Amino acid sequence: MIYYYFSQPIYVSDFDSSLIELKYTTNRKWESNTITSFGTQNELSLKSHTILVNELFKYTEQVVTEKHKIDLFEIWANEYMEKDFQEQHTHPDSHFSFTIMHKIPKGSGCLKFYNPYGDLAHNHKNFKFIEEPSQKENTIIIWPSYIKHMVTPGSNKTKRITYSGNFNIIL
């Protein structure tokens, strides 16, 4: 199902995260020092690639008006423990991004989206500037890559694991 937050098409749907067979190694990256496999060799099985692209297409067929293909060019894992977070950022050089909620223990931080018009409407009290879609295990969230987002610190004692990635549309 697509929700239009800030008039932006953000897709939130159930997705069996156990179907993602991703081999990866982690490092610490970004200012937040998050444990991630971003920038390392990530190996997604062919079966998982096909399943994921089919799910991504459920979103794009609703927001892209022309016949198209999906170029899933990047996927990685993030692992968050207590107090781990991801600072505000966008995903440049891609059309769309996604996150699959694989393991979401009690007290996990939340993925938050920021209204892209927020900097222009700072004195308008009636606009909503932050959204937090449903973030239970086995959920996929897909959004345009230019939308600023972050993950808040959590109080979880076991790993919060998500799979994130970027893809482009080929017309």
Nearest Cα to Cα of residue 106 among 161, 162, 34, 155: 155
Q: Is the pLDDT of residue 1 over 80?
A: yes
Q: Is the pLDDT of residue 30 over 80?
A: yes
Q: Is the pLDDT of residue 154 over 90?
A: yes
pTM across the whole model: 0.91
pLDDT of residue 3: 79
At 77-94, the pLDDT tens digits run 999 999 999 999 999 999
Which tokens in the block code for residue 98? 């996604």
- Between these two residues, 6 and 100, which has the higher pLDDT value? 100
Mean pLDDT within 153-164 = 97
Percent of the chain past pLDDT 90, that is, above it, reads 81
pLDDT category at 120 given cuts 50, 70, 90 is low
| Cα(8)–Cα(3) distance, integer angstroms | 8
Q: Is the pLDDT of residue 124 over 90?
A: no
CB 137 within 8 A of CB 103: yes
| Cα(120)–Cα(140) distance, integer angstroms | 29
At 57-72, the pLDDT tens digits run 999 999 999 999 999 9
Domains of the chain and CATH, by start: 2-170 (2.60.120.620)
| Cα(77)–Cα(106) distance, integer angstroms | 19
